[in-house]
Amino acid sequence: MNDGAVALVLMNKERAEREGKSILATISGHAEVAVEAEKFPQTPGLAINEILKKQASL
């Protein structure tokens, strides 16, 4: 969770291997959660719960 700036390079496994790059992480899922501003501190927990629900249904 971050509301600041970030730079991220994503590529599939085949391209990483072709370019000689190491695989540093694998994205296994994602979730989006929106809340009112006053509930913002709850957002990480809500997002974690959402992704866990999605992963459990696979």
Q: Report the percentage of the chain scoring pLDDT > 90.
A: 40
Sequence-separated contacts (24+) of 42-48 with Cβ below 8 Å: 43/1, 44/1, 47/1
- Would you list the domain boundaries of the chain? 13-56
Task: Kindly report, residue by residue over 22-44, the tens digit of the pLDDT.
Answer: 999 888 888 888 899 898 888 88
Instruction: Please say whether the dihedral angle defined by the alpha carbons of residues 21, 25, 29 and 35, taken in this order, is positive or negative.
Output: negative
* 44 or 58: which leads in pLDDT: 44
> Tell me, what's the pLDDT at 32?
86
pLDDT of 1 over the 60 cut: no
pLDDT of residue 14: 95
Q: Check pLDDT > 90 for residue 49.
A: yes
